[in-house]
Amino acid sequence: MIQSRTHNCNELRVSNAGERVVLAGWYENIRRVSKNLGFLILRDFYGTTQIVIETEEMMQQLDGVNKESVLSVEGVVRERSNRNKEIATGDIEVVPEKIDVLGKCVHNALPFEINQSKEADENARLKYRYLDLRNPSVKNRIVLRSRVVAELRNKMNDLDFLEITTPILTCSSPEGARDYLVPSRNHPGKFYALPQAPQQFKQILMASGFDRYFQIAPCFRDEDARADRSPGEFYQLDMEMAFATQEDVFSVIEEVLPPVFEKYGVYQTASKAPFARIPYLTAMEKYGTDKPDLRIDLTLQDATEVLADCGFGPFAGQTVEAVVVDGFSASRKVIDKICAETEVLTAEKAFWFKVDENGAPVGGISKFLAERRDAVIAGLGLKPGDFVGLTAGKKQTAQKTAGVLRRLLGAASEKHMRRDCYEFCWIVDFPMYEIGEESGALEFCHNPFSMPQGGMEALLGEDPLSILAYQYDLVCNGVELSSGAVRNHDPEIMIRAFELVGLGEEDVKAKFPAMYNAFCYGAPPHAGIAPGVDRMIMLLCGEESIREIIPFPMNKNAMDVMMGAPAVVEQKQLDDVHIAIRHAEE
């Protein structure tokens, strides 16, 4: 039987009264008033409609039908006497002449109530994702995702970018995370890899003579889940431009994203072009992070000079950072909670004191400041009523801890955080190199494919740790949406850049043969970026977890509990791809 419906469940209005209609959808609920009167709610993708059962025979017909069965209802529309202003179809109801069961729900009890699914255990939601997605508030996130992706695609097309899909099966590449490997049947002992990003392919496209490329690109990384990162697979608005500078990339993003955020976001205001440009070192000194939430107007102060030798043990010989909050009247319980959360997030302690109405430090570590009261007040520019949050440690540690403390204090303060907007910024001028924490050797800081500022001259004549790169991050409300760079398209500069981290010309040729060889045939200057679609949707929806905006997400352990992946496969499948499973010895 081919089901036909004349209207959807969000379509009928008073103007349809008297019409004979056919609706189809899920049996959401029924309120039984008597043996011959009941009010059934029918739900489809679009909305709900009330069906009024007025005969004992039809009420009995529904006795053996479980909720969430799929029904076809044929009947007549009439105006309701008791209107429901909460739904679009609240002025009408349908009196059925015929009800057919199209798809029976065989379970008497559901794992959770559909309209309360977001309150259910997450593993239950993921296992029964097809039920979770029936919840309109969950479904609407996926609908929004589709519309945003379509809007992004249209805007990129309007700017003359060409959508090109790049391979999913490719070679393993040192992109910074673990690869997902795919064994080859025809080439024993060899593996494909799922792309961590289309990085090399899009750069090769630029060397191939294409001018503006983009795609909504799937990326695969075997990494652990976080609130803002889904394990396994994610999507990004990947783009690259030939003959482009850093400012050219900024111009495109600043034209594309703010209108999308204002149109689809929970907030209707977004930064206008140009976005703030903040050098990396300035961001660390001022905000304690390279992902600053600019909705918070608090900044860090270096308090080392006035506090390092105050006699408080944790400050001795350390860098001390301060976050001064005026008008912060939080209780001791709230302050202790903020300090405790800072420690959980950073593994470092936070300290504090206040300034009373007489201009004297009180509470927290104030007893260590009595003898230098005037110097502390003057050094930090304090006034009565100020709250001072403090962190200490090596410079970078103190800054990062203070950055977390700043964010928590801002979120706890109505005065210092504007909550109803999207604040974008660019973090620029990242260091090209750093000393690796584990290796103790010189390493690339951010992206090995970036063009060093100063080019070959900088690589030959400057201290590597002083060299900056044309690298940039796009940040919105404290969330990193993307990294990008002006690419190193010159083979000679590329070789020298890798030599500084101990990799010679043969290593570069071996690790990146296609891209290196393509550049040897003449490559244009090019630059690009790839904002994360999943994180964008998360911000637009105001969700805390990225799993809420992905149709079929994995759980925190990178498992698809609905499909049962990862799963054991048959021995023949392993034999076909020349794989043997070796179990760890017990």
Looking at residue 439, its pLDDT comes to 84
**Residue 403 and residue 454 share a domain:** no
Residue 392 and residue 306 share a domain: yes
Unique residue bearing structure tokens 């009941």: 38
Here the CATH number for the domain that contains residue 84 is 2.40.50.140
Collect all residues with Cβ–Cβ distance below 8 Å to 457 and sequence separation of at least 6: none
| Under 8 Å between Cβ of 342 and 333 | no
Query: Do 458 and 374 reside in the same domain of the chain?
Result: no
- The number of angstroms, rounded, from the C-alpha of 285 to the middle of its chain's C-alpha atoms is 25
pTM score: 0.90
Task: Tell me if 138 sits within 8 A of 541, measured CB to CB.
Answer: no
Residue 464, domain extent = 432-468+490-522
Round to whole Å and give the CA distance between 379 and 356: 17
403 found inside a domain: yes
**Does some domain include residue 109?**
no
When mean pLDDT is compared across 126-140, 428-442, 456-470, the lowest value belongs to 428-442
For residues 535 and 549, the answer to whether their CB atoms sit within 8 Å is no
For residue 338, being part of any structural domain is answered with: yes
Residues 302 and 405 in one domain: yes
Task: Please write the tens of the pLDDT for every residue from 274-295.
Answer: 999 999 999 999 999 999 999 9
Q: Which of 77, 103, 129 is the last residue of a domain?
A: 103
Q: What angle do CA 209, 213, 217 make, to 5 degrees?
A: 135
Asked if the structure places residue 8 within a domain, the reply is: no
Answer whether residue 249 shows pLDDT above 90.
yes
CATH of the domain at 355: 3.30.1360.30
The token pair at 187 is 């080439």
Cβ contacts of 223 within 8 Å, gap of 6 or more: 177, 178, 229, 231
Residue 174: the pLDDT is 66
User: How many structural domains does the chain have?
Assistant: 3
Instruction: Report helix, strand or coil for 406.
Output: helix
Distance CA 244, CA 266 (A): 33
Please report which confidence band the pLDDT of residue 448 belongs to, taking 50, 70 and 90 as the band edges.
confident
Residue 531 has pLDDT above 70, yes or no: yes
Q: Is 3's pLDDT higher than 90?
A: no
Model pLDDT, residue 447: 82
> Percentage of residues in the chain with pLDDT exceeding 90?
84
Average pLDDT on 320-325 reads 96
- Closest C-alpha to 479, from 423, 398, 403, 558: 423
Share above pLDDT 70 across residues of the chain, in percent, rounded to a whole number: 98
pLDDT category at 2 given cuts 50, 70, 90 is low
151-202 per-position pLDDT tens digit: 999 999 999 999 999 999 999 876 567 899 999 999 999 999 999 999 999 9
Query: Is residue 529, in this structure, part of any structural domain at all?
Result: no
Tell me the chain's radius of gyration from C-alpha atoms. Answer: 30
What confidence tier does 227 reach under pLDDT thresholds 50, 70, 90?
A: low
Packed helices 533-541 and 246-264: angle between N→C axes, nearest 10 degrees: 40
Contact 195, 220 (CB under 8 A): yes
Residue 236 pairs in a beta bridge with: 217, 532
**Partners of 279 in beta bridges:** 428
Asked whether the predicted pLDDT for residue 387 surpasses 80, the reply is yes
Mean pLDDT of 476-489: 95
Whether 233 is in a domain gets the answer: no
Q: Are residues 303 and 402 in the same domain?
A: yes
- Whether the upstream peptide bond of residue 314 has omega within 30° of 0, thus cis, is no
Helix axes 136-158, 533-541, angle to 10 degrees: 130
Same domain, 355 and 447: no
Position with higher pLDDT, 510 vs 269: 269
Q: In whole angstroms, give the CA distance from residue 280 to residue 268.
A: 29
337 vs 256, 351, 367, 479, CA distance in Å? 40, 12, 21, 23
Burial 215-224 (b: 16+ CB within 10 A, else e): bbbbbbbebe
Q: Can you tell me whether residue 389 is helix, strand or coil?
A: strand
21 pLDDT more than 90: yes
pLDDT band at 511, cuts 50/70/90?
confident
The mean pLDDT of the chain is 93
Say if 65 falls within a structural domain.
yes
- On whether residue 396 sits in a domain, the answer given is yes
pLDDT at 370: 87
What are the tokens at 44? 């489809």
Do both 401 and 300 map to the same domain? yes
Give the pLDDT confidence of 346-381 residue by residue, as tens digits.
Answer: 999 999 999 999 889 999 999 999 888 999 999 999
- The predicted-structure confidence for 59-83, as pLDDT tens digits, reads as follows 999 998 999 999 999 999 999 989 9
Higher per-residue pLDDT: 513 or 299: 299
* Same-domain check for residues 444 and 509: yes
pLDDT of residue 445: 87
Residue finishing a domain among 43, 68, 103: 103
**Which of 505, 522, 539 is a domain's end point?**
522
How far is residue 167 from each of residues 188, 207, 227, measured CA to CA in Å? 21, 17, 28
Identify whether residues 367 and 305 lie together within a single domain.
yes
Distance, in Å, from the CA atom of 191 to the CA atom of 265, rounded to the nearest integer, reads 42
404 and 505 inside one domain: no
